[in-house]
A and B are shown apart, each in its own frame.
Chain A
């Protein structure tokens, strides 16, 4: 089996925890191909209120975030050549849809993501990407690191 891991990231505590978990607990083989992914979601009415300037800055902001994350992984002894950065140019209705689409476009044996602490009610109303991925994806391991 190819060691190819898709790591879905955003600039959040739970994403940082997921990354730390991978690095600290040596579950990341040195010969694994890593894809660091950030998915953009279609702008909601609420985000629209943030203003055009703010929204335009987001791709550059997250490109730098992915680069910083790659540097951190390389500092832990991983080959930078094996790390690919992927910032989606298309926007998705939900983050889940974006991850599933990117997963289907690649050849991955594992998906890693963080999960913030949430109540059952929050999970019901707001949705849980981890649960949705477990339901939707087949033939792959999904590692959900709870913050």
Chain B
């Protein structure tokens, strides 16, 4: 059996393996595994994110090591540079200390100046899996579950507004980066080390991410063109009644005019989601605008 190795320099994070020790911030952490990206059936290891146990206290933590990934991606045909920024995540961690809507943790530097974030584990399912676990017909879900979910989402969106007002953006708002705390049902944002170049519209992609989550919540899942075209049992004649304008302005395959699928969705709520569709002429610029509309809908219930 290989002897336990101790790392004070985490630059080569791929070489830090199960059983190794990371020494940082005056504590020793034993690596017990790596975190994985779990979404849409993907299960990719994230080698820079280690599951650890504090060797002194036995407390389980997540350690995120510095990984300067950078790449271009396209949103609705527009090329955007995305990159990981450990310092940004560390700054947000300081800002949101004690704020229940964000993962909690502290950041330190290793001997080579690499930023290391030591994070508390948020216990629960991510929103993507949580919604998937609610097994019931959509109409029952819509009337019985969705109002409470929307109320929680409003609070989660308000939290994003808080970091926006402080000059930060989450950077990677997705349904699997929002955890549903299994103890009290509160929603908690995780993973804010991503960032993107969007000079004139700094919060646009965060708001777009929230629009996606909202559509996912109201639709109890995404409904894409392929599903609509190939599953007449579920979607009936919907494919005959939809146009390109019913789909997302960015994900052109994703249905947003959910009222066409679920006629009992009130126009007031459907219109909020349609702000993210190809039909929209006015977009949300600030989170508060989205929150105001959602609160208006919730008050109308």
Chain A residues within 8 Å of B, Cβ to Cβ: 41, 44-46, 93-96, 119-129, 132, 135
A124:B200 contact, CB within 8 angstroms = no
List residues of chain B with CB within 8 A of the CB of A45: 81, 83, 195, 197
Known A-B contacts A46-B197, A119-B77; the reply to A124 vs B249 at CB < 8 A is yes
- Return chain B residues, CB-CB under 8 Å to A126: 78, 198-201, 204
Chief secondary structure at chain A's binding surface: helix
Closest 8 CB pairs of A and B: A127-B201, A121-B76, A127-B200, A46-B197, A125-B78, A125-B75, A124-B283, A94-B200
Q: Mark B99-128, 1 if CB is under 8 A from A, else 0.
A: 000000000000000000000000000000
The number of chain B residues touching the other chain, given as a range, is 20 to 34
Shortest Cβ distance from residue A140 to the other chain B in the assembled complex, whole angstroms:
19
Binding site for A on B (CB under 8 A): 75-78, 80-81, 83, 167, 195, 197-202, 204-205, 208, 249-250, 278, 280-281, 283, 285
Q: How far is the CA of A120 from the CA of B281 in the complex (A)?
A: 8
What is the bound-complex CA distance between A86 and B81, given in angstroms?
Answer: 31
Interfacial chain A residues near B78, Cβ < 8 Å: 121-122, 125-126
Chain B residues positioned under 8 Å from A46 (CB to CB): 81, 197
B200 to chain A: closest residue by CB: A127
A120 touches B197 (CB 8 A): no
For the complex, give the distance between the alpha carbons of A35 and B7 in Å. 59
In this complex, the member of A45, A129, A132 whose beta carbon has the largest number of chain B beta carbons within 10 angstroms is A45
